[in-house]
Chains A and B, each alone.
Chain A
Amino acid sequence: VSAEPDGPEDRLRRFATIWSRAVFPVTSTSLTRPEFEERLLPLARRLSEALRARAFDAQAAKAVGAALVDAHCTDPDALSASLDCVDAYLVLYCGEDGPQEDLRTRCSRLQHAMAAGYAQALRARTLAEQEAIAQAALQAQGVVAQALHASEARFRAVFEGAAIGIGIADLEGNVLQINGAMMRMFGGGEQTVRGRNVREWTHAEDAPQVWKLYEELVRGEREHYHVEKAFYRPDGTVLWTNLTVSLLRDADGRPQYQLALMEDTTERRLLNLRLRYEATHDALTGLPNRTLFFERLEKVLAAGEEQRFGLCYLDLDGFKTINDSLGHAAGDRLLVEVADRLQSCATAPGEMVARLGGDEFVALTTGPDTRREVDDLAARIMNALLAPVRIDGRELTVRGSIGIVEGAAGERSAAEVLRSADITMYRAKSAGGNRFELADAEADARAITRHGLTTALPAALERGEFFIEYQPLVHLGDGSVRGAEALVRWLHPQHGVLGPDRFIPLAEHTGLIVPLGRWVLEHSVRQARAWRERSGETTPLRINVNLSPCQLTHPGLVQDTVDILERAGVEPEALCLEVTESALIGADDDLLKPLRRLAEMGVDIALDDFGTGYSNLANLRRLPVSVLKLDRSFTQSMQQFPADPVDLKIVEGIVSLAHSLDLAVTVEGVETGAQAEQLRILGCDTAQGWYYARPGPPDRLHELALADATG
């Protein structure tokens, strides 16, 4: 709007400019000053018009005052500045030529109205804004309250629905709140948990640190802890839990509550205990098993030096026979009965009975004086087995062999102790059973060597560790060498040369005797041929080879012998097989058949160790035997002079009997010339012994034979 310079419009604008300049600094409008001036211009016009109106009405100025508030001139200084401006310039710029006094009066009244209008509008605006913000606050609080309610509802659902037990207590231990799961864990009934104090929940099985951790937590020194803990339920049963307790702090970090989360592990624990029990107990007898026994024994052995232990290792005698004849069910019932009786023998603290398996049991006693106690224990066990066991109407006699080991802790391992007990038990068993033996180191060592030899035997045969020595057989009539007995030796890499008594029983036990025997036969027969070749046709030396009971029953015996003889090109007559008397006692025709076949072929069969068994002399006729080898016990007394007349009579009788059955008689163990002479007088045919020669290499025998021939 262009205004005529200094015309009414121009003057009005100048008034608005002055006004805006006066008020702008105290407004908080975001308008620029020129924009603000544009907002004031219509207000200035209304004031100007009201000032000069024909009919004066001050109310118009009220609206102007209100409009100032609308233009965000809410600072009262804006009103004051505005009134100053109107007072000083309205009449001057907008009064035109009106009566001055009248204009001034009007101007004053306009200012009063403007102030009133401003005040009314500001009051209304203030109230409206206060109302609005209060409403907004309420609204917001409502939203928050709702959200909180929802959140709390969710929390409550989590709290109540959780499968885990949740409880909150204050720092004095008073239980404030618990959830359903926790209540159920304690067996229901809110009063059983709520209102109680955490500190009352001690349990006999509390680990020592449980309450220390608790104290640290409530003192604020620990944020949480996790333990396994038991509780007593009101009905007296035990609740086992995995318990996690956390410290809850307030917004300023001060400890406020304790929160317990607990998981019921009672069932799992019972299951674990049962599994543990099953893993450590024998299902049949309910006794601790090998695992548990070893745990206990190891614990005992790991204890201090003052601790001693005594162990009885029991193996029932002849249990296999009972099992085989009466069946396993009866065998099991016998074991159960034995287990019960054993258990009653070891009831003192520190004593235990376990079943190691089969019919093997152990009883353990511990303490400072087990030397005496273990003997008592063994005696109690033997005593407990005395009364027969009644099964299926039968009275079964139970006997057992016990190996006892006693000693101080810390010297041997559990395995060593048990092995010693095992060896000792076998010693008791081989001494006839139904007895107990005390372990001794030497016997153990022998057994251990025996064990070592047994396991080394097969490899020894492969590696050629065996060799044969020959002991000459001399004709008593003319003193000529007629043959030799082949005696096998083992050149053991550690133990040196071992005699047959050290390993033949082991070889028989393991069955290795069959290949070993074959090896001996083969080499001896080959040796016999070598002698024959070297001595010419004149003096064919015979070879005596021992046959073990095992070989006797081996189906290949006859064929093997025939093959060996044929391969070596040796006549059967050059071979004599020696069989012990005991191997043939009670022999039936089946057992004798191979011997008969060999005898028919021309092989001599000698009855070795004759007189040590209980031979039925009448039976001799039945046997395919051509030689009796008289045991050295009969000839020992003849080393002195004069000889025992009874022995002389016996030998004389045997020789007479033998000769009447057409059997030759060989004597062993001849050590003196007197002895040899006596035996010759008594009619013995052949002799062997140190008097003639010790067993030796084959060449020595050859030399003897040659010397004999030339002498």
Chain B
Amino acid sequence: MERPAWAPRSIDISVPSVSRIYDYYLGGSHNFEVDREAARRAMEFMPGLPKIAQANRAFTRRAVRYAIGRGVTQFLDIGSGIPTFGSVHEVARAAGSDARVVHVDHDPVAVAHSQAVLADNADADVVAADLRKPQDILTSPQVGRLLDLDRPVALLLVAVLHFVEDEDDPYAAVAELTAALAPGSLLVLTHASYEGIPLPQRRAEGVVDVYKDIRNPLIMRSREKIARFFEGYDMVEPGLVPMPHWRPETAPEDEDPYAFSGFAGVGRTS
């Protein structure tokens, strides 16, 4: 019998979680040994994984500041993970006082932790929902309370779409979210790819295997396929590029070579 929709998935902390693994990459301790064990295995194939995570955080920070600079102060951050330093609400608050942020994650531990962190924050909240079911997100009370969908919103899909398999139709999910956004909204996106990784693909595939093992497959997509997520958006300069090349504040050549793995971009709805 299929599990009814209203019965949540059980929590088994003996199973690694991608958000806690990510936290470990970023030097955090919001993780358990199972997470660290998986992370260490992945890093055996790709020692620079923390640098990729760090580059994602740095890109997010620049993109959030870009959005605020364009007057977009509402953020819908899907796949927000464990909120540590450099999280969207932190960056947004640092850059503009009236920013409102809704974090979304389907990892109940990440959500519980976010709730603890955001307990005293009236301008930010977290929704336990899945990117694959956009209506659950859009109709959530948190979105209703914090975001005015008649005004532009910055939709953040940072390092999350590569966890949605093709059979779950990530393009349809993005399109459904996009359809709910007012003109002038932004899509802030990063995505893993074999392109740009300073290693032979065979070696990078080891990481894909690790994620497959923990039943959270990592889907590497080509630049072309990633670009398709921006259907209906005008690309903000410089387009879909390796993360360090997106509106850099310091010389990209100083960046760690791993930081160039995958692609990042920002699009704007007209």
Task: Please give, as numbers and ranges, the residues of chain B lying within 8 Å of A25 by CB-CB distance.
Answer: 256
Which of the 9-residue segments B110-118, B194-202, B228-236 touches chain A?
B110-118
For residue B13, CB closer than 8 A to chain A, the reply is yes
Output the least CB separation between A568 and chain B (Å): 99
Contact with A along B191-217 (1 / 0, CB 8 A): 000000000000000000000000000
A34 to B58 CA separation, bound complex (whole angstroms): 13
Task: Please give, as numbers and ranges, the residues of chain A lying within 8 Å of B91 by CB-CB distance.
Answer: 30
> A29 contacts which of B85, B108, B109 (Cβ < 8 Å)?
B85
Output the least CB separation between A122 and chain B (Å): 9
Q: Which residue of A lies closest to B6 (CB)?
A: A151
A75 to B47 CA separation, bound complex (whole angstroms): 14
For residue A74, CB closer than 8 A to chain B, the reply is yes
Contact with B along A244-280 (1 / 0, CB 8 A): 0000100000000001000000000000000000000
> B27 contacts which of A33, A74, A130, A135 (Cβ < 8 Å)?
A74
A126 to B32 CA separation, bound complex (whole angstroms): 12
> A144 contacts which of B11, B110, B116 (Cβ < 8 Å)?
B11
Contact with A along B42-85 (1 / 0, CB 8 A): 00000000100110011011000000000000000000001001
Output the least CB separation between B76 and chain A (Å): 20
> B7 contacts which of A125, A140, A147 (Cβ < 8 Å)?
A147
A248 to B60 CA separation, bound complex (whole angstroms): 46
A15 to B112 CA separation, bound complex (whole angstroms): 42
Output the least CB separation between B123 and chain A (Å): 20
Task: Please give, as numbers and ranges, the residues of chain B lying within 8 Å of A33 by CB-CB distance.
Answer: 250, 254
Contact with B along A17-35 (1 / 0, CB 8 A): 0000000010111111110
For residue B140, CB closer than 8 A to chain A, the reply is no
Q: Which residue of B lies closest to A33 (CB)?
A: B250
> B108 contacts which of A32, A125, A144 (Cβ < 8 Å)?
A144
Contact B86 A32 (CB under 8 A): no
With A30-B61, A144-B108 as contacts: A132 and B30 at CB distance below 8 Å: yes
Give the residue among A28, A34, A125, A129 with the most B Cβ atoms within 10 A: A28
A133 to B7 CA separation, bound complex (whole angstroms): 23
Query: Which of chain A's residues 380-404 have a Cβ closer than 8 Å to chain B?
Result: none
Q: Which residue of A lies closest to B117 (CB)?
A: A132
Contact B8 A137 (CB under 8 A): no
For residue B31, CB closer than 8 A to chain A, the reply is yes
Output the least CB separation between B159 and chain A (Å): 13
Q: Which residue of A lies closest to B32 (CB)?
A: A133
Contact B85 A136 (CB under 8 A): no
Contact A148 B8 (CB under 8 A): yes
Contact A135 B10 (CB under 8 A): no
Output the least CB separation between A131 and chain B (Å): 9
With A30-B57, A125-B29, A132-B30 as contacts: A139 and B112 at CB distance below 8 Å: yes
A126 to B17 CA separation, bound complex (whole angstroms): 19
> A28 contacts which of B27, B29, B249 (Cβ < 8 Å)?
B27
Output the least CB separation between A573 and chain B (Å): 107
Task: Please give, as numbers and ranges, the residues of chain B lying within 8 Å of A144 by CB-CB distance.
Answer: 8-11, 108
> B11 contacts which of A74, A141, A248 (Cβ < 8 Å)?
A141
Size band of the B side of the interface?
A: 35 or more
A28 to B111 CA separation, bound complex (whole angstroms): 23
Q: Which residue of A lies closest to B35 (CB)?
A: A133
Q: Which residue of A lies closest to B26 (CB)?
A: A28
Task: Please give, as numbers and ranges, the residues of chain B lying within 8 Å of A125 by CB-CB distance.
Answer: 29
For residue B132, CB closer than 8 A to chain A, the reply is no
> A140 contacts which of B11, B30, B82, B249 (Cβ < 8 Å)?
B11
Q: Which residue of A lies closest to B53 (CB)?
A: A28
Q: Which residue of A lies closest to B108 (CB)?
A: A140
Task: Please give, as numbers and ranges, the residues of chain B lying within 8 Å of A34 by CB-CB distance.
Answer: 249-250
Q: Which residue of B lies closest to A128 (CB)?
A: B29
A147 to B7 CA separation, bound complex (whole angstroms): 6
Task: Please give, as numbers and ranges, the residues of chain B lying within 8 Å of A143 by CB-CB distance.
Answer: 8, 108, 112
Contact B115 A139 (CB under 8 A): yes
Contact with B along A175-209 (1 / 0, CB 8 A): 00000000000000000000000000000000000
> B60 contacts which of A30, A135, A136 (Cβ < 8 Å)?
A30
Contact A30 B254 (CB under 8 A): no
Contact B10 A148 (CB under 8 A): yes
Task: Please give, as numbers and ranges, the residues of chain A lying within 8 Å of B50 by CB-CB distance.
Answer: 28
Task: Please give, as numbers and ranges, the residues of chain A lying within 8 Å of B254 by CB-CB distance.
Answer: 33
Task: Please give, as numbers and ranges, the residues of chain B lying within 8 Å of A130 by CB-CB distance.
Answer: 29-30
Contact with B along A61-96 (1 / 0, CB 8 A): 000000000001011000000000000000000000
Query: Which of chain A's residues 120-167 have a Cβ closer than 8 Å to chain B?
Result: 125-126, 129-130, 132-133, 135-137, 139-141, 143-144, 147-148, 151
Output the least CB separation between A247 and chain B (Å): 10
A135 to B30 CA separation, bound complex (whole angstroms): 10
With A28-B27, A151-B4, A248-B1 as contacts: A137 and B11 at CB distance below 8 Å: yes
With A28-B53, A139-B116 as contacts: A133 and B109 at CB distance below 8 Å: yes
Task: Please give, as numbers and ranges, the residues of chain A lying within 8 Å of B20 by CB-CB distance.
Answer: 133
Contact A140 B112 (CB under 8 A): yes
> A137 contacts which of B25, B28, B109 (Cβ < 8 Å)?
B109
Task: Please give, as numbers and ranges, the residues of chain B lying within 8 Å of A31 by CB-CB distance.
Answer: 58, 61
> B116 contacts which of A30, A135, A147 (Cβ < 8 Å)?
A135
A72 to B53 CA separation, bound complex (whole angstroms): 14
Contact A136 B112 (CB under 8 A): yes
Task: Please give, as numbers and ranges, the residues of chain A lying within 8 Å of B28 by CB-CB distance.
Answer: 74, 129
A139 to B82 CA separation, bound complex (whole angstroms): 14
A125 to B30 CA separation, bound complex (whole angstroms): 10
Task: Please give, as numbers and ranges, the residues of chain A lying within 8 Å of B4 by CB-CB distance.
Answer: 151
Q: Which residue of B lies closest to A141 (CB)?
A: B11
Contact A132 B109 (CB under 8 A): no
Contact with A along B120-137 (1 / 0, CB 8 A): 000000000000000000
Contact B108 A133 (CB under 8 A): no
> A132 contacts which of B8, B57, B116, B256 (Cβ < 8 Å)?
B116
Contact B29 A140 (CB under 8 A): no
A129 to B13 CA separation, bound complex (whole angstroms): 16
With A147-B7, A147-B8, A148-B7 as contacts: A75 and B113 at CB distance below 8 Å: no
A27 to B8 CA separation, bound complex (whole angstroms): 37
> A136 contacts which of B8, B116, B249 (Cβ < 8 Å)?
B116
Contact B11 A29 (CB under 8 A): no
A25 to B51 CA separation, bound complex (whole angstroms): 9
Contact B82 A133 (CB under 8 A): yes
Query: Which of chain A's residues 1-51 have a Cβ closer than 8 Å to chain B?
Result: 25, 27-34
Task: Please give, as numbers and ranges, the residues of chain B lying within 8 Å of A133 by CB-CB distance.
Answer: 20, 29-32, 82, 109, 113
A143 to B27 CA separation, bound complex (whole angstroms): 28
A29 to B57 CA separation, bound complex (whole angstroms): 8
Output the least CB separation between B66 and chain A (Å): 14
Contact A28 B112 (CB under 8 A): no
Output the least CB separation between A666 and chain B (Å): 104
A90 to B19 CA separation, bound complex (whole angstroms): 39
Task: Please give, as numbers and ranges, the residues of chain A lying within 8 Å of B11 by CB-CB distance.
Answer: 137, 140-141, 144
Task: Please give, as numbers and ranges, the residues of chain A lying within 8 Å of B112 by CB-CB distance.
Answer: 135-137, 139-140, 143
Output the least CB separation between B19 and chain A (Å): 10
With A139-B112, A144-B108, A151-B6 as contacts: A30 and B54 at CB distance below 8 Å: yes
Task: Please give, as numbers and ranges, the residues of chain A lying within 8 Å of B8 by CB-CB distance.
Answer: 143-144, 147-148
Output the least CB separation between A185 and chain B (Å): 22
A81 to B160 CA separation, bound complex (whole angstroms): 34
- Provide a sorted-by-A list of 17 A–B residue pairs whose CB atoms are within 8 angstroms: A25-B256, A28-B26, A29-B85, A30-B60, A30-B61, A30-B86, A33-B254, A132-B30, A136-B30, A136-B109, A136-B110, A136-B112, A143-B8, A147-B7, A147-B8, A148-B7, A151-B6
Q: Which 10 A-B pairs have the closest CB atoms?
A: A30-B86, A136-B113, A129-B29, A140-B108, A30-B57, A74-B27, A139-B112, A136-B112, A151-B7, A140-B112
Residues of B within 8 A of A (CB): 1, 4, 6-11, 13, 20, 25-32, 50, 53-54, 57-58, 60-61, 82, 85-86, 91, 108-113, 115-116, 249-250, 254, 256
Given A74-B29, A139-B112, output 10 extra A-B contacts at Cβ < 8 Å. Answer: A30-B57, A31-B58, A31-B61, A32-B249, A32-B250, A33-B254, A137-B112, A143-B112, A144-B8, A151-B6
